[in-house]
A and B are shown apart, each in its own frame.
Chain A
Amino acid sequence: MTDEARAAVGDYKVGWHDPENATIRFDFGLSEQVVRDISALKNEPEWMTEIRVKAFHHFEKRPMPTWGNMHLLEEIDFDKVCYYLRSSDATEKNWEDVPEDIRNTFDRLGIPEAEQKWLSGVTAQYESEAVYHSIREDLEEQGVIFLDMDSGLREYEGIVKEYFGSVVPYSDNKFSALNTAVWSGGSFIYVPSGVHVEMPVQAYFRINAKNMGQFERTLIIADEGSSIHYVEGCTAPTYSTDSLHSAVVELIALPGAHIRYSTVQNWSNNVYNLVTKRGIAHDNATIEWVDGNIGSKLTMKYPAVILKGEGAHAEVISVAYSGEGQHQDAGAKIHHLASNTTSKILSKSISKDGGRGSYRGMVTVSPKAENCKVNVVCDALLLDEESRSDTYPTMEVGNSGARCEHEASVSKVSDDQLFYLMSRGHTEEEALALIVNGFFEPFTRELPMEYAVELNQLMALEMEGSIG
C-alpha cells in the first residue's frame, strides 16, 4: 500500500518548481503605490481602486492578532513578499494556448484530465492571475457565469459592486484587509434561479515563485433555488523561504439555494495559509464548507456561515493533518440570526511528529432566533508524544429555545484496533494508515471520488514511518 502510495504521489509530489518566466513582477514590499499599480494594471473602475486603498490603510493600522500561534505570525515579513506576479498575458480557454511551462505544471497536477472526466468548469490560477478558464457550454446557455474574478469585475461590474465585501468587509481582520488591498484572481460565479449545476466546478491554485503572495478573491452567488458545488485545490513548491496565501471567499446563498464549497489544501510546508471564508444563507438556503487542511506551515482558517434567513442550514466538515513544524489552527463559525436555523460542525484532526492541531470555533444564537439547533463534534488523534492537540470552542446562546451541543475528545490510536487489523495480516504501518483513513472517512465521503482517493493516498504517505 505504501509503495503504491509512494509511486502515486511521490515525496510531496507537487513540491517541484518551474523556472520563473514572469511577464510582470512587482518588487518585494507593500505600499499604497503598489496597491494603486495593481489596480491600474487591471484597468479597474475607480470604486475598486478606492476600496483597495482604504483596505491598505486599514491593514497598516490593524495590529497582528494577539491570539493563535503568535510566534509563527510574528515571523511573517510583509516586506519580503511579492504582491503581484503575472506569468501569462491572458486567461485562455484552450489548454493549448496556455504557455507550455505552465501547461506542463497543470498536466502534472492532473487538472486537464479531471476537467474532461468529471468537472463542469475549471479555473487554473498560477501566481497572481488565472491562466486558464473554461465552462461547459450547456451551463453557459443556462446563464451560469463562471469567470475568474478579474473578468467578473470587467464583465459584470454591477453584480460585483453589489456583493464585493458585503460578506467579508476589508475591516473584518488584518488579512481580509490585506487581501482586499492586493487581491488578484480567484473565481466569480453566479448561478441563476432554479439552475442546478450537477457536476462540480473546480479552481486550482498554484504558487510557483519564491516568497510569493497569492491573494485570490472568490465570490459565489447562488440565486433562488439553485445549487452548485465548488472545489478548490492548492499546492506550492517546497522552498526554504516562506510564501503567503491570504484569500477571501464570499458566498451568498439566496432563498432555497445550496452551495457546497470543498477545499483540499496541500500547500508545501513553507506557506502561511491565512484565509477568511464566510457565507450568508438566506431563507431555507444551505451552505456547506468541506475543508481539508493537509499542508502549509501555519493555517488559520475558520469557515463561517451567517444564517440570516429562517430555516437556513449550515454544515462545516473539516479535517486537518499536522506534521513536523506545522500548526493547523482551523475551525468554524456559525451565527444563527434567524429562527428555525440549524447547523452542524464536525472537525477531525491528526497530529504527528510534533505537529499541532487546534480547533477554534464559535457558535452564536441571537436572542431573536427561536428554535435553533446546533451540533458541534471535534475529535483529535495524537500519534506520538511530541504532538499536541487543542480545542477552543465558544458558544454564545441568547435564546432560551435553542438547543446547542458541543463535544470533543482527544485520544490515541487504540491498541485493540491495531491488534485486530494486524491479526488479519496487515503490517502495523498499514493498520495505522487504515485507522487514520477511517478516522477521516466522514470527510472523504463528502468529497468527489477523485479527491477522496487522492486524500487517502496523501494520508497513507504521511503515515509512512509512523511506527517504530
Chain B
Amino acid sequence: MNVAYSENSDTDRAAHIWRYTPWKKAHPTGKISQIPTAEPPVISLSMSDGSEVPAGIRVEEATKDDLARLGHDLDFGDGTAAPTFIAEIAPQIHVLRVDAKTTAKSPVILSVKTTGSTCACRLLIDICERVEIELITVLEGDAEWFGFLREGAFGQASIVNDVVVHVTGNRLLRCDSICSNRDAQIRAGTVNAASSQAKVDVRHWLPEPGASLQVNGSILASRKDHLDSHVEILHSGKQTFSRLEWHTAASGESVTTGTGMLRIDAGAKGGDAGQLFHNLLLSDKAKANSIPELEVMESEVVGCGHGTANGPLDEYQMFYLNARGFDEEQARAALIAAFLNAPLSNMGSESLHGWLINRIESHLSGL
C-alpha cells in the first residue's frame, strides 16, 4: 500500500529535489490540490526486428495480488508528491510480466502511447529470475501532460538492459522505483529526445547481495526545454555495485538539471558506487545544474565517488576535425553525437544501440 498524495502534496522548496522544478511546475494544472482526470495510454509490445514476442513476455492488467507483491510504498522522502500523485490519477494499473528464464534474441519494444490531454500510466515490472532480455520502453504520443510510474523488481540473477526513451513532445513526469535482486545484472538507460519539460525521478534499490547496476543517461535539450532528472541509487545489500554516467547536451535556452544520490547504508559492506554527470553547454543561454550527492554510512566499501564536469565543446577536438576536412558544423555535430553516444553505447547490445540511434537521430539536428 503506497502512502497518500494528499499527505505529501505540500513540498519543501528547500529540498534539492524541488529546487529547479518545483512540484507546482511539474503538476499538470499547477494547482497542487487538484487531482485531474487522466486518460490511460495505449500499451503494446513488439520486437525490434519484427519477430514474434516470446511467449513468456506480456503486458496485462495488474491484479490486487500483483500490486501487493510488486507495488512499492512510494515513499520518496522529499519527492513523495510525484509518484503518489501519478498512482492516484492513473486510471489503470498494468504489469509487464516476464517469466523466469525467458530470453529474447532482439530488444523488446514496449510502446506506451499517450492519449487525451492529460494521460497517466502505472506500470508494474515483474521480471522473474534468470531472465535475459533487452527492453526498450518508448514514451510517445501527443498528450499535453504525461505521468508515468514504474515499480517492481528485476529478479534474481536476471540480466536486463532496460532503456526508457522519451519522445513525447510535451510535459513528462516520470518516476521509477525498481529493485534489483540478488546477483541481478542491470543496465538502466534513459534517453530524452523530445520532451519539452521533463521531471524524472528514478530510484534504484539494491537490497540483496551481488546486484550490479549501470545507469546511463543521454539527454538532449534544445529550444526552451526544461529537463530535470534525479537518480537515486541505494545500496543496502552486501557486495553491490553501481555506476551512473549521465550526459546532457544543452542548446538554445534550455535548462537542464542532473541530481543524483548515492547512498551506502550501514552494513552494505563491499559496496562499490560511482556517479558522473557531464554537461555540454552549446549556447550562451543554455544552463546546466548538477547536484551529485553522496551519503556513506559504511566504512568497509570498495570505493564510493562522484564527479561532475561542465564545459563547452573542446577546442582541440574541433581543431583536429577541422584539420581533417570537417567544416565547423560537421565537426560540431560529430562531437555532440560522440558525447551523447558514449552512454548510449553502454546501454546494451549493438542492435539495441542501433535501434536507439535510428530513433533519436532526427532530434539531434535540433541541437
* 6 residue pairs from A and B, CB less than 8 Å apart: A389-B294, A392-B291, A402-B311, A404-B310, A407-B306, A410-B303
Judge if A67 is at the interface, Cβ distance under 8 Å: yes
Report the separation of the CA atoms of residues A65 and B14 in the bound assembly, to the nearest whole angstrom. Answer: 9
Report the separation of the CA atoms of residues A402 and B284 in the bound assembly, to the nearest whole angstrom. Answer: 10
Report the separation of the CA atoms of residues A461 and B76 in the bound assembly, to the nearest whole angstrom. Answer: 42
Report the separation of the CA atoms of residues A16 and B303 in the bound assembly, to the nearest whole angstrom. Answer: 41
A404 touches B309 (CB 8 A): yes
Q: A391-B294, A400-B284 are contacts. A408–B299 as well, Cβ < 8 Å?
A: no
A406 touches B307 (CB 8 A): yes
Judge if B300 is at the interface, Cβ distance under 8 Å: yes
Set of chain A residues within 8 Å of B303, measured between Cβ atoms: 409-411
Judge if B304 is at the interface, Cβ distance under 8 Å: yes
Report the separation of the CA atoms of residues A378 and B309 in the bound assembly, to the nearest whole angstrom. Answer: 14
Q: A390-B295, A402-B312 are in contact. List 18 more A-B contacts (CB 8 A).
A: A66-B14, A367-B287, A380-B296, A382-B298, A385-B300, A391-B292, A396-B289, A397-B288, A400-B281, A400-B282, A400-B284, A404-B308, A405-B309, A408-B305, A409-B305, A410-B303, A410-B305, A411-B301
A390 touches B299 (CB 8 A): no
Contact of B311 among A386, A391, A396, A404 (CB under 8 A): A404
Q: Which of A342-388 contact B (CB under 8 A)?
A: 367, 380, 382-388
A398 touches B287 (CB 8 A): yes
User: What 1/0 flags go to B269-294 for Cβ under 8 Å of A?
Assistant: 00000000001011111111111111
B298 touches A385 (CB 8 A): yes
Judge if A395 is at the interface, Cβ distance under 8 Å: yes
Judge if B12 is at the interface, Cβ distance under 8 Å: yes
Report the separation of the CA atoms of residues A129 and B282 in the bound assembly, to the nearest whole angstrom. Answer: 54
B283 touches A391 (CB 8 A): no
Contact of B291 among A389, A395, A400, A405 (CB under 8 A): A395
Judge if A399 is at the interface, Cβ distance under 8 Å: yes
Judge if A154 is at the interface, Cβ distance under 8 Å: no
Question: What 4 A-B pairs are tightest by C-beta distance, nearest first?
Answer: A400-B281, A382-B299, A409-B305, A391-B294
Judge if A394 is at the interface, Cβ distance under 8 Å: yes
Set of chain B residues within 8 Å of A389, measured between Cβ atoms: 294-296
A412 touches B286 (CB 8 A): no
Nearest residue (CB) in A for B281 is A400
- What's the nearest-Cβ distance from chain B to residue A368, in Å? 9
Set of chain B residues within 8 Å of A384, measured between Cβ atoms: 299
Q: A391-B294, A410-B296, A412-B301 are contacts. A400–B308 as well, Cβ < 8 Å?
A: no
Q: Which of A226-284 contact B (CB under 8 A)?
A: none
Report the separation of the CA atoms of residues A409 and B312 in the bound assembly, to the nearest whole angstrom. Answer: 25
Set of chain B residues within 8 Å of A402, measured between Cβ atoms: 281, 310-312
Judge if A401 is at the interface, Cβ distance under 8 Å: yes
Set of chain A residues within 8 Å of B14, measured between Cβ atoms: 65-67
Set of chain B residues within 8 Å of A65, measured between Cβ atoms: 14
A410 touches B310 (CB 8 A): no
Set of chain B residues within 8 Å of A67, measured between Cβ atoms: 14-15
Q: Interface residues of A, CB < 8 Å — how many?
A: 36
Judge if B297 is at the interface, Cβ distance under 8 Å: yes
A391 touches B279 (CB 8 A): no
Interface residues on chain B, size class? 35 or more
Q: A387-B299, A391-B306, A399-B281 are contacts. A408–B294 as well, Cβ < 8 Å?
A: yes
Judge if B266 is at the interface, Cβ distance under 8 Å: yes
- What's the nearest-Cβ distance from chain B to residue A406, in Å? 4
Set of chain B residues within 8 Å of A367, measured between Cβ atoms: 284-285, 287
- What's the nearest-Cβ distance from chain B to residue A399, in Å? 7
Report the separation of the CA atoms of residues A406 and B306 in the bound assembly, to the nearest whole angstrom. Answer: 8
Set of chain B residues within 8 Å of A385, measured between Cβ atoms: 266, 298-300
- What's the nearest-Cβ distance from chain A to residue B271, in Å? 10
Set of chain B residues within 8 Å of A390, measured between Cβ atoms: 293-296
Judge if A57 is at the interface, Cβ distance under 8 Å: no
Report the separation of the CA atoms of residues A388 and B266 in the bound assembly, to the nearest whole angstrom. Answer: 9
Report the separation of the CA atoms of residues A442 and B14 in the bound assembly, to the nearest whole angstrom. Answer: 33
Set of chain A residues within 8 Å of B283, measured between Cβ atoms: 400
Contact of A408 among B286, B287, B306 (CB under 8 A): B306
Report the separation of the CA atoms of residues A241 and B283 in the bound assembly, to the nearest whole angstrom. Answer: 55
Report the separation of the CA atoms of residues A386 and B190 in the bound assembly, to the nearest whole angstrom. Answer: 35
The winner among B281, B294, B297, B309 for most chain A CB atoms within 10 A is: B294
Set of chain A residues within 8 Å of B294, measured between Cβ atoms: 389-391, 408, 410
Set of chain B residues within 8 Å of A225, measured between Cβ atoms: none
Judge if A169 is at the interface, Cβ distance under 8 Å: no
A410 touches B308 (CB 8 A): no
Report the separation of the CA atoms of residues A384 and B301 in the bound assembly, to the nearest whole angstrom. Answer: 11
A401 touches B312 (CB 8 A): yes
Judge if A393 is at the interface, Cβ distance under 8 Å: yes
- What's the nearest-Cβ distance from chain A to residue B176, in Å? 22
B312 touches A400 (CB 8 A): yes
Q: A397-B279, A399-B281 are contacts. A388–B291 as well, Cβ < 8 Å?
A: no
Nearest residue (CB) in B for A398 is B287
Nearest residue (CB) in B for A371 is B312
Nearest residue (CB) in B for A397 is B310
Report the separation of the CA atoms of residues A386 and B297 in the bound assembly, to the nearest whole angstrom. Answer: 7
Q: A387-B299, A397-B279 are contacts. A410–B304 as well, Cβ < 8 Å?
A: yes
Q: A395-B290, A397-B279, A411-B303 are contacts. A66–B12 as well, Cβ < 8 Å?
A: yes
- What's the nearest-Cβ distance from chain B to residue A334, in Å? 14
Set of chain A residues within 8 Å of B296, measured between Cβ atoms: 380, 382, 388-390, 410
Judge if A403 is at the interface, Cβ distance under 8 Å: yes
B295 touches A403 (CB 8 A): no
Nearest residue (CB) in B for A412 is B299
- What's the nearest-Cβ distance from chain B to residue A169, in Å? 19
Set of chain A residues within 8 Å of B289, measured between Cβ atoms: 394-397
Report the separation of the CA atoms of residues A389 and B299 in the bound assembly, to the nearest whole angstrom. Answer: 9
Report the separation of the CA atoms of residues A406 and B295 in the bound assembly, to the nearest whole angstrom. Answer: 16
A403 touches B287 (CB 8 A): no
Set of chain B residues within 8 Å of A387, measured between Cβ atoms: 299
Report the separation of the CA atoms of residues A367 and B298 in the bound assembly, to the nearest whole angstrom. Answer: 40
B293 touches A411 (CB 8 A): no
Set of chain A residues within 8 Å of B290, measured between Cβ atoms: 394-395, 406
Nearest residue (CB) in A for B258 is A395
Nearest residue (CB) in A for B257 is A396
Set of chain A residues within 8 Å of B266, measured between Cβ atoms: 385-386
- What's the nearest-Cβ distance from chain A to residue B228, in Å? 13
A394 touches B291 (CB 8 A): yes
Set of chain A residues within 8 Å of B285, measured between Cβ atoms: 367
- What's the nearest-Cβ distance from chain B to residue A83, in Å? 28
- What's the nearest-Cβ distance from chain B to residue A29, in Å? 28
Nearest residue (CB) in B for A364 is B289
Set of chain B residues within 8 Å of A411, measured between Cβ atoms: 301, 303-304
Nearest residue (CB) in B for A388 is B297
- What's the nearest-Cβ distance from chain A to residue B13, in Å? 9
Report the separation of the CA atoms of residues A412 and B266 in the bound assembly, to the nearest whole angstrom. Answer: 14
- What's the nearest-Cβ distance from chain B to residue A142, in Å? 44
Report the separation of the CA atoms of residues A390 and B281 in the bound assembly, to the nearest whole angstrom. Answer: 28
Report the separation of the CA atoms of residues A405 and B281 in the bound assembly, to the nearest whole angstrom. Answer: 14
Report the separation of the CA atoms of residues A157 and B31 in the bound assembly, to the nearest whole angstrom. Answer: 51
B305 touches A405 (CB 8 A): no
Q: A392-B291, A397-B288, A401-B312 are contacts. A409–B299 as well, Cβ < 8 Å?
A: no
A409 touches B304 (CB 8 A): yes
User: What 1/0 flags go to B59-81 for Cβ under 8 Å of A?
Assistant: 00000000000000000000000
